[in-house]
């Protein structure tokens, strides 16, 4: 495996040549960057990031692929969904629908999808709900929501307590917005100045913070129900799937054999750990890009 430590040389410019647009989809208005002319790949960020988390990886992929990086609905500068008691407008099913609509808007009927952290749940749901549209699936630092909740023990509840705190009404937003910089750590030195500035704008915006927290509320309810229905019906991911996890994060400590957790959901499965902290696109971009390119190949 390639060395994932920061590599010497000139840093890539910030999304050089990428178009930046706001696109109106059937159910959301999405901020998106895209560029390239090869097979399409959609990159989905996690919490509390925006699409700019991919700024060191996307240009490397765009040498051979068409790369699309949106803010998920509720996050960044994309539109914020209406609240409902069941949080359905913040569900991963709703966000997966946005992904398919976005790619069709850009002219792609079939595409690969890569999701990190909370974005991995939307990527997984897209592969489950739209098997004809998703050609390959990459999961970064995640297991299915249903698996996480069913395997929850004292260690998970202690280390991932935020899942359950974020599920409460009102209090999470009040706590975060009291001091967003203290709540969410980050720095321009580690993240890059423009990525950090975009991240800061997001975590200081009350509507965006609420949208990000609604993603968790949906996860504890309607998203879990969607996973349960799929398992009961025997549905699995139909496309080739790769799962990657950060060795300096805690996925292995929580689940041991991460691939064993995924195998019942994705029969055509590969994957391994990467020497990185949680925000792998920012911390080990060269290694991540290399692994992604090997897996994505030239399949449309």
Could you count the other beta carbons within 10 Å of the beta carbon of residue 163? 16
CA angle centred on 159, ends 158 and 161, rounded to 5°: 65
| Chain Cα centroid distance, residue 257 | 21
Which pLDDT score is estimated for 12? 65
| 24 pLDDT higher than 80 | yes
Query: Pairing between strand 19-24 and 40-44?
Result: unpaired
| 11 pLDDT higher than 60 | no
Helix axes 171-178 and 206-220, enclosed angle (nearest 10): 140
When pLDDT is averaged across residues 120-139 and rounded to a whole number, the result is 98
| 279 pLDDT higher than 90 | yes
| Chain Cα centroid distance, residue 194 | 19
| 8 pLDDT higher than 50 | no
Could you count the other beta carbons within 10 Å of the beta carbon of residue 289? 20
Q: Chain-wide mean pLDDT for the chain?
A: 94
pLDDT tens track for 75-109: 999 999 999 999 999 999 999 999 999 999 999 99
Structure tokens at 274: 């990467």
Query: Pairing between strand 134-140 and 111-116?
Result: parallel
| 1 pLDDT higher than 90 | no
Structure tokens at 272: 């391994």
Q: Which fold has domain 19-295?
A: Rossmann fold (3.40.50)
Percent of residues, the chain, with pLDDT higher than 90: 94
Rounded CA-CA distance 137/241 in Å is: 5
Confidence band, pLDDT 50/70/90 cuts, at residue 5: very low
Dihedral of the alpha carbons of 118, 61, 64, 42, in degrees to the nearest 10: 20
Burial of 247 (0-12, 13-18, 19+ CB in 10 A): middle
Confidence band, pLDDT 50/70/90 cuts, at residue 31: very high
Which pLDDT score is estimated for 13? 86
| 70 pLDDT higher than 70 | yes
For residue 6, the SS3 value is: coil
When pLDDT is averaged across residues 136-143 and rounded to a whole number, the result is 98
Confidence band, pLDDT 50/70/90 cuts, at residue 196: very high
Q: 5 versus 148: which is more confidently predicted?
A: 148
| Dihedral sign of CA atoms 124, 273, 45, 289 in order | negative
| 244 pLDDT higher than 60 | yes
Rounded CA-CA distance 176/174 in Å is: 6
When pLDDT is averaged across residues 33-39 and rounded to a whole number, the result is 96
Nearest CA among 155, 146, 143 for reference residue 260: 143
Rounded CA-CA distance 193/200 in Å is: 10
When pLDDT is averaged across residues 220-226 and rounded to a whole number, the result is 98
pLDDT tens track for 103-118: 999 999 999 999 999 9
| Global pTM value | 0.95
When pLDDT is averaged across residues 32-36 and rounded to a whole number, the result is 97
Which pLDDT score is estimated for 36? 95
Residue 35, preceding peptide bond in cis (omega within 30° of 0):
no
Could you count the other beta carbons within 10 Å of the beta carbon of residue 202? 22
Active site residues: 117, 278
Beta strands in 194-246 (DSSP E): 241-246
């Amino acid at each position: 495996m390639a060395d994932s430590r920061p590599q010497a040389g000139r840093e890539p410019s910030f999304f050089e040549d990428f178009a930046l647009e706001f696109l109106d989809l059937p159910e959301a208005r999405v901020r998106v960057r895209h560029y390239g002319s090869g097979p399409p790949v959609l990159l989905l960020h996690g919490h509390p990031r925006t699409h700019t988390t991919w700024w060191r990886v996307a240009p490397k992929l765009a040498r051979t692929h068409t790369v699309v990086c949106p803010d998920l609905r509720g996050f960044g500068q994309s539109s914020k969904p209406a609240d409902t008691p069941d949080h359905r407008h913040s569900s991963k099913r709703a966000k997966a629908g946005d992904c398919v609509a976005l790619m069709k808007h850009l002219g792609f009927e079939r595409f690969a999808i890569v999701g990190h952290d909370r974005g991995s749940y939307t990527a997984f749901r897209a592969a489950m709900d739209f098997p004809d549209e998703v050609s390959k699936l990459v999961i970064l630092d995640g297991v299915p929501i249903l698996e996480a909740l069913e395997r929850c023990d004292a260690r998970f509840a202690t280390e991932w307590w935020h899942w359950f705190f974020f599920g409460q009404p009102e209090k999470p937003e009040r706590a975060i917005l009291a001091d967003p910089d203290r709540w969410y750590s980050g720095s321009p030195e580690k993240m890059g100045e423009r990525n950090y500035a975009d991240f800061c704008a997001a975590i200081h915006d009350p509507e965006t913070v609420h949208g990000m927290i609604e993603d968790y509320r949906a996860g504890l309810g309607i998203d879990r129900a969607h996973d349960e229905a799929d398992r009961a019906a025997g549905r699995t991911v139909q496309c080739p799937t790769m799962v990657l996890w950060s060795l300096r994060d805690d996925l292995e400590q929580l689940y041991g054999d991460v691939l064993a957790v995924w195998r019942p959901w994705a029969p055509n499965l590969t994957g391994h750990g990467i020497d990185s902290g949680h925000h792998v696109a920012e911390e080990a971009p060269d290694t991540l890009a290399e692994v992604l390119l090997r897996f994505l190949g030239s399949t449309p």
